[in-house]
Structure formats: structure tokens, C-alpha cells
Amino acid sequence: MASGIESAAEPASIESANAPHPASKLLEPARGYPGALIVVEGIDGSGKSTQLYLLKRWLEIGGYRLHFTEWNSSPLVKSATRRGKQRRLLTPTTFSLLHAADFADRCERQIMPLLHSGYLVLADRYVYTAFARDVARNCSPRWLRNLYRFAPVPDITFYFRAPLDVAVNRIMSGRPKLKYYEAGMDLNLSLDRSESFRIFQGRILAQYNEMIESDKFVVMDGTLPVNKLQKEMRQFVKSRIDLSRFAPKKASRSARSPQ
């Protein structure tokens, strides 16, 4: 296996070993759908979105049936989230619930129907973002695991790991003005916004690292050159998912795996 990929295990339940809940067993991937779900996760600045974009371009150019979805993209609860953030009304619990409602809308109206109709779904951030970020905000892991029980388990979860300094520097150089919640200012970690952001991202990073084994993350080294990393990502996808399932139906005889 290429050097950037450190772990490659079977996809398993979103339930993690350290969050036992009597009701937690429902997410076992008894996949009743022909689609597949590929997820990228990692802290801000880890390079995940760039890599998923390149993966998407590769598949699009090959003519594959795919859909791209982002965390935080549903118009449904956007106004509530915006209002809550502007007026700083959000607590760790309501912050978490609003994002869960947003995800539920996307899940019920996009992700699940597309998986059932045989699409390859690419998700830029998934429930692990909520697990990492909301636990960093002191929400109970058990409560969170229950909250997202309705989410389908991904076929592959790529976790882009980059050292905190590298990731934070990437963000700070491109986006000098950090937002209140984004910087974790609600947690009173520091009065300085960039310092608060750094501490908050550090906490999130620790939570991601906790999930590597329990949630079968495929760890990618976010410090490698972009094209090298992308090559590894494509190889891994090919090795794990039969892409011919997603080739255009009429042209399926001539469809080839993209190079």
C-alpha cells in the first residue's frame, strides 16, 4: 500500500467502541442499496476538500454517476443557523441539534434516495465532523452517537491528517477573519480569536484521532504533495469499490476505469 495510506479496514458501524449505547446497533451496514458513499474528514486546512474535488473531477470525466454533497449545505435550516450565530444564541446542544437537523434534511432528501438509486455519493465532511467538533464543545459522545444513528455508514472514510500548525497556518494565511463559533469563542478558551481557533482545532484533531480505529478511517497524510495524495486516493477507491457499477448504463460496455 502506498505510503500515504496507513490504515485500510472494512467499513464498519458508525458506533464506536467507546460509546456503548443500548440503542446503538441500528447502524450496522446491512446496506439495502446499490449506491456507495465516500466521505472525507479532517480539520480545516487538512487538504480534504481539494482532494475530494480532484476525486470528483476524475470520476466526472470518466462519466460516472455521482453526486457531491457538503456539510452545512441545506437551505432548510440555514436561516436558523445564521440567526443563531449572529445573535450568539447557540449553546453546544442547540448548535449540535441544528447541524443534525440540517444533515437529516440532506440525508433524507438527497443522500438516501441517491444511494437507493445507485449513485456514488461523495461527501465533504460527514457525521464524524459533528462527533469531533461537538465533543470538543463538551457534548456527550453517547448522546451524539445516538443523535446520528439514522446516518448510513460510509463505504470509505478518508481522514486527512495534518499537523495542527500546518493546518492552522494554511487557514490563517488565506482567511484572516475567523468567525465567532468557527474559532470556538463560545468555549472561552482564549480572548484572542486566533489563539482560540488553534486550541479548538487542537481539540477537534484529538477527537478525530480517537476515531481512527473505531470508525475505520483510512488515514491520508495531508502533508504530501497534492498530486501524489490524489493518486493514492484514486487507487484506494478503485481497490475498494467496483466503479463499473456507476458507469453510464448505455455505454457500460465501453466504459473503462479512468486513468
Partner 1 sequence: MKASQKTRKNGREKAILSHAGASPRNYGLPLPGVHDEEYGGSLIVIEGMDGSGRSTQISLLTEWLESEGFAVETMGLRRSGLVAKDIDALLAENTITRMTLTLMYATDFYDQLEHRIIPALRSDFVVLADRYFYTLVARAAARGIERDYLLGLYEMALRPDLTFWLNVRPEAAFEREFRKSHTISYWESGRDLCLSDDLFQSFIMYQAKIKKEFESLSELHGFLAMDGEASVATVNTELRKRIAAHLGIQRTHYRPSAALASLWR
- As a whole number of angstroms, the distance between CA 181 and CA 195 comes to 13
Are 95 and 84 in contact, with CB atoms under 8 Å apart?
Answer: yes
* Residue number, 46 or 81, with CB nearest to partner 1: 81
DSSP H helices in 124-225:
127-136, 141-147, 164-174, 193-214
**Shortest separation between residue 152's beta carbon and partner 1, angstroms:** 13
* Distance in Å, CB of 157 to partner 1, minimum: 22
Q: Is the dihedral of CA 219, 127, 148, 153 positive or negative?
A: negative
CA distance 131 to 153: 14
Q: How far is the CB of 248 from partner 1 (least distance, A)?
A: 30
Give the footprint of partner 1 on this chain (CB under 8 A): 21-23, 26, 76-77, 79-80, 83-84, 89-94, 97-98, 100-101, 104-105, 107-109, 137-140, 142-143, 146-147, 149-150
Phi and psi for 97 in degrees, rounded to 5?
-65, -40
Are 255 and 247 in contact by the 8 Å Cβ rule? The answer is: yes
| In the complex, minimum distance from the CB of residue 58 to partner 1, in angstroms, rounded to a whole number | 32
Distance of closest approach, residue 142 Cβ to partner 1, in angstroms: 7
Rounded least distance, CB 112 to partner 1, Å = 10
Block residue for cell numbers 465567532: 180
Cα angle 29, 33, 38 (rounded to 5 degrees) comes to: 65
The alpha carbons of the chain give a radius of gyration, in whole angstroms, of 18
Among residues 22 and 32, whose Cβ is nearest to partner 1? 22
Looking at the Cβ atoms of 75 and 225, the one nearer to partner 1 is 75
> Minimal distance in Å, beta carbon 77 to partner 1?
7
Nearer to partner 1, 100 or 132 (CB): 100
> In the complex with partner 1, which residue's Cβ is closer, 87 or 253?
87
Show the cell assigned to 25.
Answer: 446497533
- Smaller CB distance to partner 1: residue 27 or 156? 27
Q: Are 117 and 36 in contact (CB under 8 A)?
A: no
Q: CB-wise, 65 or 142, nearer to partner 1?
A: 142
According to DSSP, the residues that pair with 219 across neighbouring strands are: 159
C-alpha cell at 239: 481497490
